[in-house]
Amino acid sequence: MTTTWRHLPAAAREIADAAMVAVTAAAERDGAAYGPAVERLTSADRAGLVLGGVVRLLLEESHPDGLDGDDVRQVLERCVRSNAAWRADVDPHVLLVLLASALGVYDPGDDDAPPDAAAIARHAPLLIADLMAATGRPLSDHLSAAFAEVARTELHD
């Protein structure tokens, strides 16, 4: 089943479409489709916010009793190991920043600049595809929920 995103504004539709392609490509280890989808995500304003929301939702769903340091380490190690063979540029630090940011505990400190939009766009679909393997719901459900959270947050700010 193909999800339509007609109800979303054009910028959000672009994020949703690119995320669907990128996460599917990551799950299938399809480098030819992954590169262009990542470029689309990199150029989409606020894509990192939406992708981070999806990561958080997936973490909550796959760890309903909460996460501890060992859980985070296992997610990180599994994602790096499963993607290193087809993505030589996988960076554990960027994945860790994505995890910490999604959990609301990332503090870059004085010496650590956060990853740029391109690094986030290259790594978030890898992490999402890895976390998706543990859930039974389609990505479109998680994307819809992430967009709803972004909209709620913007209304209350």
Domain boundaries, the chain: 10-156
- The tokens describing 101, both together, are 């940011």
Q: What is the pLDDT of residue 7?
A: 78
Whether the CB-CB separation of 22 and 41 falls below 8 Å is answered with yes
- What are 41's two structure tokens? 């995500």
Pair 87, 94: CB distance under 8 Å: no
Give the chain's mean pLDDT. 89
Tracing tokens 């929301």 back to the chain, one arrives at 53
Write down the pTM of the prediction.
0.91
SS3 for 38? helix
What was the pLDDT predicted at 19? 95
* pLDDT value for 45: 85
What residues of the chain score a pLDDT lower than 70? 1-4, 110-111, 157
pLDDT for 114: 85
